[in-house]
Amino acid sequence: MLLGMGDKVHIVMRRLFEGDLRRHFVGEVKEATEFAMVVKGYPFVYNAALGQWERKPELRVRYFSLSDNLIMVNVIPRTVDIEAVRYLFVKGRLIVTDEAEFQLDIQEFGQNR
């Protein structure tokens, strides 16, 4: 099994259409099998009206299929404080950070938000 209890992940849910909501999830793996995982953490949603990513305030538990090609899973360091994770634009790049040691550049192309 690649993922285990205590691993931390940043999950990108792929959009099927241009107008689909942009959604991400950051959390800690609570259970995992070779086919699925249970993750406790926070959803992040892109607010197009404000041009920024917003964290939903409620801690949630989500189930993700590991065979689903509509999600991309980034394994992040176990030391990341999930409560402190924020999205920032730094030098025109979208960065996921805990504003301590962890930074993940998740912008693939150009300077589009």
Domain ranges of the chain: 8-105
Q: What is the pLDDT of residue 113?
A: 46
pLDDT band at 108 (very low <50, low <70, confident <90, very high): low
More confident residue, 101 or 42: 42
Whether the pTM exceeds 0.75: the reply is yes
d(CA 94, CA 88): 6
pLDDT band at 112 (very low <50, low <70, confident <90, very high): very low
Cβ–Cβ < 8 Å for 42, 55? yes
> What is the pLDDT averaged over residues 20-31?
94
> What is the pLDDT averaged over residues 10-33?
91
